[in-house]
Structures are given as C-alpha cells and as structure tokens.
A and B are shown apart, each in its own frame.
Chain A
Amino acid sequence: MAALSVDLVATDRRVWSGVAQSVSAPSINGQIGILPGHTPLLAVMRAGTVKVVAGDGTIFEAKVSGGFLSVDDNLVTVVADEITTPPDG
C-alpha cells in the first residue's frame, strides 16, 4: 500500500515532515483519520491534537490551535497557526 507523505507546518517553521501510515487531525466537524488513498480534501481544523503514525510505527503528536488540512494524492499538509509539540517529541 502506498504511504502518505506528510508535512506539518506552522507559520514560522516546518514542524514535522516525512512518510507516515496514517494521520489523525481535528477537523471542524470532528476528528478525522486519513489513510493512504484518501480522496482529495481541504478541511478547516479547530484546536486539538494532530497525531501522525510515522512509516516506522512511531507516533508523533502535537497540539494545534487551528488551521487547515489538505490531502491531495497521498500528500498531506497540515497547516496550523501554532503548533506545540510535547517536550519529549
């Protein structure tokens, strides 16, 4: 199965970038999960937690303050106004 290529960007930096198995993000209508092969999507996000399961199975979590999310041809871009990563990550 194809993998997702994920970019997590905040206004002033790129927070995370790489290959992932799945992404979960807080869209305005509720948490949505994205797996490879998802239809193209543009969604507005509310504040919440973005969770990325990376290609090697490690999990990356970050809090976002709102923003949007785009999925196009297995390319996922999470664009947030502010991203706070947990201290260990």
Chain B
Amino acid sequence: MAGGVQRVYRQRITSTQKLKKVFRAQELIAASRIGAARTRVSQATPFAQAITQAVSALAAHARVEHPLVEARHDTDRVAVLVVVADRGMAGSYTAANIRETDRLLATLRAQGHVIDLYVAGRRAVAHYSYRGYDLKRSWVYGSDRPEQEVATEIADTLLAAFAAPADQGGVAELHVVYTQFVNMVTQTPRVVRMLPLEVVAHYSQTEEIEPLYEFEPSAPEVLDALLPRYVRSRLFSFLLESAASELASRQRAMRTATDNAEELIRNYTRLANQARQSEITQEISEIVSGADALAVGK
C-alpha cells in the first residue's frame, strides 16, 4: 500500500532527526570540554619538565643505581597498560588503540614474554574481557576527566608489580599504550616502554668544571623520592593526553555523524515526496480509468 511506504519514510525521518539531536549535543559537549582538557595537559607540563630536569641533572652528577632503572632478567613476565575511553561515540579512538595494543601483544608474545594486561577505560575492559583475556587489573575512571588520584593509583600498582619478586608475579617491563594529542586533528596511538626507566644524563656544554652537586639526604635517597614521582607524573600526563584525544575524536566523530544524519534526512524526504507523488499519480489514473470504463459502459 502506497500510504504505508510514506508512513515508513516519515517515521525514519523523525527517528533520524532525534539521533541528529543526540549527535549534535555530544559534539557540543565534547567541544566545550576539550578546552579544559587541553589546559590541564599544559598545566601538568611544568611539573613533568621540572622532574625530568632533576632526574637528568642527577644522572649527570651521580651514579644512577636504582631498581627502577635496572633491567630485570629473572622473569619473562611483562606488563602492558592500555588507556582508552570509558564511553564510545568517539570514532576510531578506542579501536585504534586496541589495534596498536594487539600488535604490541603479538610482538611481545613472539619474544616469548608472558603478558599481564592492565586496562584503563571501560571500552577496553569490555573488549578484552569479552575475548576471554585475563585482566590483571582494570580501572574505569572517567576517562575524559582523569583525576590525579587515579593516575597515582595506577602508577603505584604498576610500580609494585615491577618491584615484586619473580615468583610473586613481578614483571620485567612495563609498556603503556595511550593516545598522543598532537593537535586538534591529529591524535596518534603510541606505545611507550615505561619501565625500566631510561635515564638520559644532561651535561652542560660549557668547558667549565661541573660544580659539585649536593644531595640531601643522599643521592640514592633523592632517587628514591624522584623516580616514583617521575613515573606517576608521566602516567598522569598520559591520562591527560588520552582524555584530550578522546574528546577531540568524539567531537570529530559526532560532527560526521550529524552530517550523515542530515544527509539521510534529505534522502528520506526525497523518497517520501516521491512516494506521495506516485500515490497521487496512481489515484488519478485510477479515477481516470474508472471514468473511462463508465463512459464505455454507457
């Protein structure tokens, strides 16, 4: 029945219009939050810089001997931390990260490592637990607005795993997969080997004799205080960058979705008009042929 076709089109148009409103709202929400997320990234930078400078100054002036910088050979176990979004509607953001992670996992397995998977973000928790991975630990933490405490908790868990003896599930390495926020249009998934730390010593270029550095209370104790903070601050900045990336991806994905919804509405409107027109045409021809038949019958 032609009227039925018309009604179906009208229904599709209304439902697409409703979806479009949702997409538009999501886009605007993401757009309004992204500024704050970027500010947080840049506000955390001075701390990260200060700590990096201190570590490299220390490396230049004293021998760096600390469990966190030494490679472990007593275990094949490595830890992988994946940082993704809690919510979807962010285009390929989570998928790209998971693809990167799968590649990393394959490489590590090929090297004969046993993998402990740590996951942050509900999307990845769902993805990996559905596929039967044994998650060592997972966090659902409000991925578009990560708090300092969560970063600290994640860092401390991983540091503890790195410090644990081999027979108690200690890990030899820690890799982190997160999304680097390059700019509003480019965000790239990135794999970083966090532990053991690689310390790059910074030597001044001058010919002068380096002044004697004082450590209080002593170089090893300063290291003890510095390195875990360094790891925490790195992790926090990973979370912040991931959050900014998530919001940027969401904004972009939702803009595309809104555009697609508009396109669909246009197409359905055309089809509905066509259906209405053909219905009218059919009715006219029915009336005309009916009249003709009556005229012949006379």
Contact = CB atoms under 8 A, between A and B. Distances in A.
A81 B156 CA distance: 14
Chain B interface mostly: helix
A77 B233 CA distance: 16
Contacts of B47: 9-12, 14, 79
B40 A12 contact: yes
Contact of A68 (B40, B46, B226): B226
Given A44-B216, A79-B51, A14 B46 contact: yes
A34 to B, nearest CB: 11
Contact of A44 (B43, B221, B236): B221
Interface residues of A, number: 24
* B-side interface size class: 20 to 34
Given A9-B47, A10-B47, A14-B43, A42 B57 contact: yes
B128 interface: no
A77 B53 contact: yes
Interface in A24-66: 27-29, 32, 39-44
Interface in B67-84: none
Contacts of B203: none
A33 to B, nearest CB: 13
A77 to B, nearest CB: 5
A65 to B, nearest CB: 12
A70 interface: yes
Chain A interface mostly: strand
A36 B172 CA distance: 44
Interface string B45-69: 0110011011001100100000000
B211 interface: yes
B259 to A, nearest CB: 36
Interface string B32-52: 000000001001101100110
Given A68-B54, A68-B226, A79-B51, A41 B46 contact: no
B217 A70 contact: no
A5 to B, nearest CB: 13
Contacts of B58: 42
Nearest to A38: B214
Contacts of A9: 46-47, 50
B213 interface: yes
Interface string A64-78: 000110101000010
A7 B216 CA distance: 19
6 contacts: A12-B43, A39-B214, A42-B214, A42-B226, A68-B222, A79-B54
Interface of B: 40, 43-44, 46-47, 50-51, 53-54, 57-58, 61, 148, 211-217, 221-222, 225-226, 229, 232-233, 236
Given A12-B148, A29-B216, A42-B214, 5 more contacts: A10-B47, A11-B236, A29-B217, A42-B58, A42-B226
Interface of A: 7, 9-14, 27-29, 32, 39-44, 67-68, 70, 72, 77, 79, 81
